[in-house]
Amino acid sequence: MKTRVTEILGTEYPIIQGGMAWVAEHHLAAAVSNAGGLGIIGAASAPAEVVREEIRKCKELTDKPFGVNIMLLNPNAEEVARIVVEEGVKVVTTGAGDPAKFMPMWKEAGVKVFPVVASVALAKLMERAGADGIIAEGMESGGHIGHTTTFALVPQVVDAVHVPVVAAGGIADGRGFAAAFMLGAEAVQMGTRFVAAKESIVHPNFKEKIFKAKDIDSTVTGMSTGHPVRCLRNKMSKEYLRLEKEGADFMELEKLTLGSLRKAVIDGDVSNGTLMAGQIAGLVKKEMSCREIIEEIMGQAETLLGEKR
Ligand code: TUI
């Protein structure tokens, strides 16, 4: 299936993997890229040299294009922004902020830039700054989110910019893919479905939580701190929300979440860890390889959209 996004990215399919902290490491990114999507290494809060190593290891596992996600709340974002250029990475996605100050450097190096936005205003700003495409991420997504749903955000962003739009948030199968295309998207980004993939290094306890999740098992912490984070309900989220309701200050809440994503992803501590996942977790029922996931979705989507592009 060809769209402007596959042309820009040089991928077989218009499917991008989310840049999930701790989860989006080189094995997952290479597996998605080898299956015809765009794999992403999530730089998150990792030290810049660790990101460089991840990029090099990914290159050993795939000769297909892959990208790096730069989390802009990270104090070393600038260093990581330079490293992607030094390492010849083809695509950058960004999250949790405005990457405009890095855009001239990336554009000069020929890096394709797809900022993740949660609003029309930032989408327009990013287009003016030279973005090659926009990833419009609805609040169904896992992790740090905005306030608008994918269904409402995507068509509004599509109407506001000329560059192609990628839909993210709440998409995990061919129906979601086809619906996103009906809204005007030219690709989708998926996180949760890939968290549970065979090649994902996420602890089996966390994957099991996704497979067992029901539609109502998703919650949002941090509404009061200005950094809302969507995760699956567990002991940790209940405690967080209780403290938040009591008016706990930022530092107190931070203590609870410090290192909590690592606890969930690496240690498999599904009680005290933060189980970042999207609202679509309830749809993800079994572990499949990235290739099986992508081929299943493309098969369903092509039938639904009634076309082979
Ligand atoms: O970035 C994400 N998802 C993330 S980042 C992350 S690490 C983190 N953990 C705890 C608290 C905060 C971050 C986990 N998940 N998705 C892309 C995304 N970007 N969603 C929302 C936004 C966003 C929000 C506000 C982008 C820009 C923005 O404001 C723009 C500005 O002017 O700063």
Residues 65, 33, single domain; the answer is yes
Interstrand relation of 66-71 and 39-42 (parallel, antiparallel or unpaired): parallel
Q: Which atom of ligand 1 is nearest to the CA of 122?
A: 30
**pLDDT bracket for residue 247 (50, 70, 90):** very high
**pLDDT bracket for residue 213 (50, 70, 90):** very high
pLDDT, position 271: 98
209 neighbors 270 (Cβ within 8 angstroms): yes
pLDDT, position 121: 98
Judge whether 129 lies within some domain: yes
**How many angstroms is it from 220 CA to the middle of ligand 1?**
14
Interstrand relation of 112-117 and 134-137 (parallel, antiparallel or unpaired): parallel
Which two three-digit tokens encode residue 308? 């082979």
| Cα three-residue angle 222-227-232, rounded to 5 degrees | 50
Which helix H or strand E contains 92, and what residues bound it? strand 91-95
Residues 169, 259, single domain; the answer is no
Residues 218, 134, single domain; the answer is no
Residue 46 has pLDDT above 70, yes or no: yes
pLDDT, position 18: 98
**How many angstroms is it from 117 CA to the middle of ligand 1?**
8
Residues 125, 270, single domain; the answer is no
Q: Which residues of 7-43 are buried (b: 16+ CB within 10 A; e: fewer)?
A: ebbebbbbbbbbbbbbbbbbbbbbbbbbbbbbbbbbb
Residue with CA closest to ligand 1 atom 13: 144
**How many angstroms is it from 191 CA to the middle of ligand 1?**
14
Residues 185, 299, single domain; the answer is yes
Q: Which atom of ligand 1 is nearest to the CA of 44?
A: 7
Judge whether 208 lies within some domain: no
Residues above pLDDT 70, as percent of the chain: 99
**pLDDT bracket for residue 250 (50, 70, 90):** confident
Residue 88 has pLDDT above 90, yes or no: yes
CATH code for the domain in which residue 74 is found: 3.20.20.70
Residue 304 has pLDDT above 60, yes or no: yes
Residues 76, 169, single domain; the answer is yes
Residue 226 has pLDDT above 60, yes or no: yes
Mean pLDDT over 177-191 rounds to 98
pLDDT, position 251: 87
Residue 307 has pLDDT above 80, yes or no: no
Residues 78, 164, single domain; the answer is yes
Mean pLDDT over 30-54 rounds to 97
Least-confidence region, from 78-87, 168-177, 204-213, 223-232: 223-232
103-139 confidence digits (pLDDT tens): 999 999 999 999 999 999 999 999 999 999 999 999 9
**How many angstroms is it from 145 CA to the middle of ligand 1?**
6
Q: Which of 135, 144, 253 to mutate to test the pocket of ligand 1 (most atoms within 8 A of CB)?
A: 144
Which DSSP letter does residue 123 get?
H
Domain encompassing residue 162? 4-201+284-305
**How many angstroms is it from 309 CA to the middle of ligand 1?**
33
pLDDT, position 301: 97
149-181 confidence digits (pLDDT tens): 999 999 999 999 999 999 999 999 999 999 999
Judge whether 135 lies within some domain: yes
Residues 131, 249, single domain; the answer is no
Burial class, 209, CB count within 10 angstroms (exposed 0-12 / middle 13-18 / buried 19+): buried
Residue 3 has pLDDT above 80, yes or no: yes
116's CB contacts (< 8 A; 6+ apart) are 19, 69, 93, 94, 95, 135, 137, 168, 189
Based on the structure, what is the number of domains in the chain? 2
**How many angstroms is it from 123 CA to the middle of ligand 1?**
14
Which two three-digit tokens encode residue 45? 């809060």
Residues 90, 45, single domain; the answer is yes
Residue with CA closest to ligand 1 atom 17: 95
**How many angstroms is it from 21 CA to the middle of ligand 1?**
12
Residue 309 has pLDDT above 60, yes or no: no
Judge whether 206 lies within some domain: no
Three-class SS state of 240: helix
Judge whether 137 lies within some domain: yes
Residue 31 has pLDDT above 60, yes or no: yes
Residue 192 has pLDDT above 80, yes or no: yes
Q: How far is CA 212 from CA 59, 109, 225, 281, 285, in A?
A: 34, 44, 29, 9, 7
Whole-angstrom Cα distance, residue 238 to residue 117? 28
Whole-angstrom Cα distance, residue 250 to residue 230? 17
Residue with CA closest to ligand 1 atom 30: 97
Residues whose beta carbon lies within 6 Å of some atom of ligand 1:
21, 71, 73, 95-98, 116-118, 122, 137, 143-146, 227, 229
pLDDT, position 4: 98
pLDDT, position 180: 98
Mean pLDDT over 276-295 rounds to 98
Residue with CA closest to ligand 1 atom 5: 144
Residue 308 has pLDDT above 70, yes or no: no
Residues 130, 264, single domain; the answer is no
Which DSSP letter does residue 266 get?
I
Judge whether 64 lies within some domain: yes
Which residue in the block uniquely carries the two structure tokens 């080898």?
34
Residues 173, 299, single domain; the answer is yes
Q: Which atom of ligand 1 is nearest to the CA of 117?
A: 26
Q: What rounded mean pLDDT belongs to the chain?
A: 97
**pLDDT bracket for residue 69 (50, 70, 90):** very high
**How many angstroms is it from 42 CA to the middle of ligand 1?**
13
Residue with CA closest to ligand 1 atom 27: 97
Least-confidence region, from 189-198, 248-257, 292-301: 248-257
Judge whether 207 lies within some domain: no
Residue with CA closest to ligand 1 atom 19: 96
Judge whether 298 lies within some domain: yes
**How many angstroms is it from 300 CA to the middle of ligand 1?**
31
Residues 264, 290, single domain; the answer is no
